[in-house]
Amino acid sequence: MKNLKLIATLFLISIFFLPAIVSAEETGVGEFVKDSAITTQIKAKLLGTKDIDSLHIKVDTDNNGIVVLTGAVKSKAEEDLVHKIAHSVDGVKKVVNKLIVDPALFN
């Protein structure tokens, strides 16, 4: 009887977890990790650059290595530097720059 309960429990657990496992394989967990690593590297470089106020910058990376920059910067020079830093990270294929220049936000 104990074995039957154990088998039934394992069967039910596998039924509940199977969709999650299949979904993870289809979406490519490895791709997600790679893309989040790209985002993390860009954010780290932005934080380490003294001429950039990175608190107003959002970085997103899709599963094709395309980086989207959104938010606000103080100047065109800062915008160009952020764009250049994003391009410098390995794995980045394209940078879509949606940053706006808004010096008033930083006063």
Q: Residue 67's domain is classified under what CATH number?
A: 3.30.1340.30
The verdict on residue 1 lying in a domain is: no
Using the predicted structure, report yes or no on whether residue 102 has a pLDDT greater than 50: yes
pLDDT class for 15, splitting at 50, 70, 90?
A: low
Using the predicted structure, report yes or no on whether residue 24 has a pLDDT greater than 50: no
The verdict on residue 8 lying in a domain is: no
pTM of the model: 0.69
Sort strands 66-73 and 57-61 into parallel, antiparallel or unpaired: antiparallel
Tell me how far apart the alpha carbons of residues 84 and 11 are, in angstroms, rounded to a whole number. 52
Using the predicted structure, report yes or no on whether residue 14 has a pLDDT greater than 90: no
The verdict on residue 83 lying in a domain is: yes
Mean pLDDT of 41-46: 93
The verdict on residue 92 lying in a domain is: yes
- What's the structural domain count of the chain? 1
What is the residue range of 49's domain?
32-105
pLDDT class for 105, splitting at 50, 70, 90?
A: confident
